[in-house]
Amino acid sequence: MAAQSNGLYAECILPLDEKAIRVLYLELGDESDEIRAHLQLLSLDTDLPPQYECVSYVWGDPSFTKRAIINEQYIQITKNLYDALYHIRSKIKTMVIWADAICSDSDVDEKSRQVAMMAEIYRQCSKVHIWLGLPEPGSLIGDPFEFLDHFVRGKHFYDFPACDNILNDFLQVVKSPWWTRAWTVQECLLPKETVVMFRTWTVTWDYILRAGHMKNSHGDGPTKCCVEANTVFNPHQLDTINGWL
């Protein structure tokens, strides 16, 4: 859902003669503070790298919205985008963020121009925050990325604790609807740095790739040291994760 409010973009019109985007200056805030930000133009046609970060997320159900204050106006944005900005914002400094639903107008001509620039927008950003969403209340036992940590540290399947908690927690990451999006490849591979977020837990994209490589080397790799040991996990759960990796 595109953010819509009369006059929101009136003082921030994108020029037609250069590559430019709107960015959010996302104000610092604590847990109880509303999302507040203002829009500014940012040129991508510059000798110096523009300094901004992107957020990659699933829009979510357009009927579930929350209120944000943009350019001193109240607008409605999807709850999932609100949650992303809420967890991305800093408590100590203003952040410069590009989020499509707020930074792009719903005007058809403008939207087509911005879509054509999408690869460049992600390539020039300093970081992308991949927002996987929030877990169901009370559903996580521990760190949902602990499953990845285990393999990055070079451990085996048979080194896992004798419980399903690690696997169940990670399955929530795997089942996030973000992985089904059509634009995920360019949004995670083009930026200089990619961070994956699940509520307050974060991991880098490179870390996920390293975990996948290390895990596969224990099963299908030349040593096959964990072919039998990995049967301690629920086969259906493990097939889901193997397919994801």
DSSP 190-209: SSS-EEEEETTEEEEHHHHH
Whether residues 121 and 153 fall in one domain = no
Q: Is 239 inside any structural domain?
A: yes
Residue that terminates a domain, selected from 131, 163, 192: 131
Gap between the Cα atoms of 122 and 56, Å rounded: 10
The answer to whether position 32 is within a domain reads yes
Question: Strands 194-198 and 127-131: what pairing?
Answer: parallel
Maximal CA-CA distance, the chain: 64
Q: Find the domain containing 217 and state its range.
A: 146-244
Same domain, 87 and 183: no
Regarding whether 216 and 122 lie in a shared domain, the answer is no
* Spatial CA neighbour of 197 closest among 122, 149, 134: 134
Handedness of CA 124, 126, 130, 133 (dihedral sign): negative
Co-location of 189 and 126 in the same domain: no
52 in a structural domain? yes
Give just the sign of the alpha carbon dihedral 136, 138, 141, 142: positive
CA 57 centroid distance within chain: 5
- The last residue of one of the domains, among 104, 131, 158, is 131
Query: Do 156 and 90 lie in a common domain?
Result: no
Residues 177 and 236 in one domain: yes
The predicted pLDDT at position 229 comes to 67
Q: Are residues 48 and 99 in the same domain?
A: yes
**Beta-sheet strand order (sheet of 53-56):** 73-78, 65-70, 36-43, 20-26, 95-98, 53-56, 127-131, 194-198, 201-204
Looking at the fold, whether 150 and 125 belong to one and the same domain comes out as no
Domain membership of residue 6 (yes or no) is no
**Are 207 and 146 spatial neighbours (Cβ–Cβ below 8 Å)?**
no
Residues in the chain predicted with pLDDT less than 70, given as ranges, are 1-6, 162-163, 219-223, 229-230, 232
The reported pLDDT for the residue numbered 168 is 86
* Total number of domains in the chain: 2
Tokens of 115: 């879509």
Q: How many angstroms separate the Cα of 68 from the Cα of each of 39, 53, 74, 89, 238?
A: 13, 19, 6, 13, 40
State how far the Cα of 148 lies from the Cα of 150, in Å rounded to an integer.
5
Is residue 51 a contact partner of residue 124, using CB atoms and an 8 Å limit?
A: no
pLDDT tens readout for residues 70-112: 999 999 999 999 999 999 999 999 999 999 999 999 888 888 8
Residue 212 CA to residue 210 CA, distance in Å, equals 5
Do residues 122 and 34 both lie within one domain? yes
Determine, yes or no, domain membership for 38.
yes
Question: Would residue 7 count as lying in a domain?
Answer: no
Q: Is residue 221 part of a domain?
A: yes
The verdict on residue 167 lying in a domain is yes
Q: Which residues have a Cβ under 8 Å from the Cβ of 119 and sit 6 or more positions away?
A: 186, 190
Task: Give yes or no: residues 63 and 124 share one domain.
Answer: yes
My answer on whether 123 and 202 are in the same domain is no
- Classified as helix, coil or strand, 145 is coil
Pair (126, 151) in one structural domain: no
DSSP structural state of residue 15:
P
Euclidean distance between CA atoms 46 and 139, whole angstroms = 47
